């Protein structure tokens, strides 16, 4: 059995990153007998945390058995921590933030380098994949991505950059590191056209090996045994409307839009009441990020306390819980990309709140721009969303999945 190393951020508290790892794992398994060694860029090897599901619904631990009981117990308590408004961070000079990232990176070298060298030596190919990895997080990701690429190069292993997001600005040093990784890579697959354009503006020579593909979370049904999702069929009568909520302060890091927490909580409360008025039930959920959980706890729940028909879904601590929550809904209205994509893949009426360009691009690629909701002027859109009216995206999704399946087949050893 051939082995491939997949380096990403599967242990991120935002379970969307774990979902990427799960679904990539499943696509690779669909292409033949390969073992995936998972490596978290910031935390090291994590072989025992990647269960996948067969297309027939059976659970398989593709790497090295079920997670240890201690690890499962540690993951049982959801994190609740509201991000600061960002004033203290803005007052910290960029140079100091980069210096902190550099010394944290240095302090992890002894642990991570040993694990990485062993994992690369066991693998026939190295993939850096999933997540918004080609960004300059004050050197955190540039240093981590460079570490993997340099080890692959040192051992003479082929490197493929797989389904990442890329966005600027990059500092001069981060640009040198990340472009060095891209130039060594045998292929680069990004998740949206903005990422591709950004990379080619920095180095037009990357064009011949850079492609735009779909997000692997479109394979959620195959990865979790949900190939027959009856909830995806539009139906009259009472339905469960899933509201996937994100802390609006996350927008400060990714886009120009700003949404105050009080206003955002009012919007979600109004959305819930709109669904209830139409005769439906409501399920509030998050993707597991600590600040999203805390935002719902402190701002949204008080506005809907005691309102009948509103289910306060437990905050997920595993990808299985997140996928199960989405599968139980008939319609999903969400802001996080990896709440929207699994829902779309299951054939459910799905609506995304505009905030991040990659979400807009992915909806547009699927011919579903009409399913984007602008929270600043959305009353009519919201009424249509709770009634479950949506464009037919099945053919576009299948085309995207086929392109992704074929690309991974080409780069596997």
Q: What is the pLDDT of residues 303-349, one digit of tens each?
A: 999 999 999 999 999 998 999 999 999 999 999 999 999 999 998 99
* 246 backbone φψ class: left, alpha, beta (φ>0; ψ -120 to 50): beta
Give me the percent of the chain exceeding a pLDDT of 90: 58
pTM: 0.88
What token pair was written down for 150? Answer: 């340099």
The answer to whether residues 188 and 211 touch, using CB atoms and an 8 Å cutoff, is yes
Backbone angles phi, psi at 279, to 5 degrees: 95, 20
What is the CB neighbour count within 10 angstroms for residue 321?
18
What is the Cα–Cα distance from 150 to 142, expressed in whole angstroms?
12
Q: Per-residue pLDDT tens for 7-45?
A: 999 888 889 888 999 999 999 999 988 999 999 999 999
Nearest to 293 by CA among 322, 267, 270: 322
Strand partners, 210: 188
Of the pLDDT bands very low, low, confident and very high (cuts 50, 70, 90), residue 46 is confident
The residue to which tokens 């100091």 are assigned: 96
- pLDDT for 379: 66
Backbone angles phi, psi at 17, to 5 degrees: -70, -35
What is the CB neighbour count within 10 angstroms for residue 3?
14
The answer to whether residues 21 and 6 touch, using CB atoms and an 8 Å cutoff, is yes
The answer to whether residues 48 and 65 touch, using CB atoms and an 8 Å cutoff, is yes
Could you give the residue ranges of the DSSP H alpha helices within 224-327? 251-254, 261-277, 290-295, 301-304, 319-327
Of the pLDDT bands very low, low, confident and very high (cuts 50, 70, 90), residue 235 is low
Which residue has better confidence, 252 or 116? 116
Please report which helix (H) or strand (E) contains residue 360, including its range.
Answer: helix 357-365
- pLDDT for 402: 96
The residue to which tokens 């117990």 are assigned: 73
Beta carbons within 8 Å of 191's beta carbon, 6+ residues apart: 163, 164, 165, 212, 213, 214, 215, 358, 362
Q: Per-residue pLDDT tens for 184-231?
A: 999 999 988 899 999 999 999 999 999 999 999 999 999 888 754 544
Nearest to 267 by CA among 357, 138, 180, 354: 354
């Amino acid at each position: 059995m051939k082995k491939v190393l997949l380096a990403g951020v599967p242990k991120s508290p935002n379970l969307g990153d774990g979902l990427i790892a799960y679904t990539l794992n499943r696509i690779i398994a669909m292409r033949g007998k390969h073992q995936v060694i998972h490596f978290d860029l910031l935390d090291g090897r994590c072989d025992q945390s990647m269960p996948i599901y067969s297309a027939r619904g059976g659970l398989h631990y593709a790497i090295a058995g079920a997670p240890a009981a201690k690890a499962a117990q540690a993951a049982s308590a959801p994190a609740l921590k509201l991000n600061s408004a960002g004033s203290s961070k803005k007052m910290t000079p960029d140079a100091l933030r980069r210096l902190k990232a550099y010394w944290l990176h240095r302090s992890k070298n002894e642990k991570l380098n040993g694990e990485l060298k062993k994992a690369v030596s066991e693998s026939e190919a190295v993939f850096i994949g999933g997540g918004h990895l080609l960004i300059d997080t004050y050197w955190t990701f540039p240093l981590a991505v460079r570490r993997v690429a340099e080890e692959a190069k040192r051992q003479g292993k082929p490197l493929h950059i797989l389904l990442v997001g890329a966005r600027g600005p990059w500092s001069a040093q981060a640009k040198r590191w990340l472009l060095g990784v891209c130039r060594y890579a045998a292929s680069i697959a990004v998740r949206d056209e903005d990422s591709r354009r950004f990379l080619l503006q920095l180095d037009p020579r990357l064009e011949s090996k850079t492609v735009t593909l779909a997000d692997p979370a479109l394979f959620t049904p195959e990865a979790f045994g949900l190939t027959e999702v009856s909830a995806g069929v539009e139906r009259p009568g009472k339905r469960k409307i899933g509201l996937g909520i994100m802390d609006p302060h996350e927008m400060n890091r990714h886009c120009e839009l700003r949404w105050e927490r009080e206003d955002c909580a009012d919007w979600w409360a109004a959305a819930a009441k709109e669904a209830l008025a139409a005769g439906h039930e409501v399920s509030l959920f998050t993707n597991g990020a600590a600040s999203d959980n805390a935002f719902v706890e402190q701002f949204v729940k008080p506005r809907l306390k005691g309102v009948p028909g509103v289910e306060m879904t437990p905050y997920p601590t595993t990808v299985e819980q997140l996928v199960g929550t989405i599968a139980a809904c008939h319609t999903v209205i969400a802001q996080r990309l990896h709440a929207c994509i699994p829902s779309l893949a299951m054939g459910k009426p799905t609506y995304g709140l505009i905030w991040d360009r990659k979400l807009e691009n992915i909806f547009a690629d699927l011919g579903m721009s009409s399913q984007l909701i602008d929270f600043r002027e959305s009353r009519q859109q919201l009424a249509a969303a709770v009634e479950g009216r949506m464009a037919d995206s099945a053919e576009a999704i299948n085309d995207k999945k086929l392109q992704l399946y074929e690309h991974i087949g080409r780069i596997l050893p």
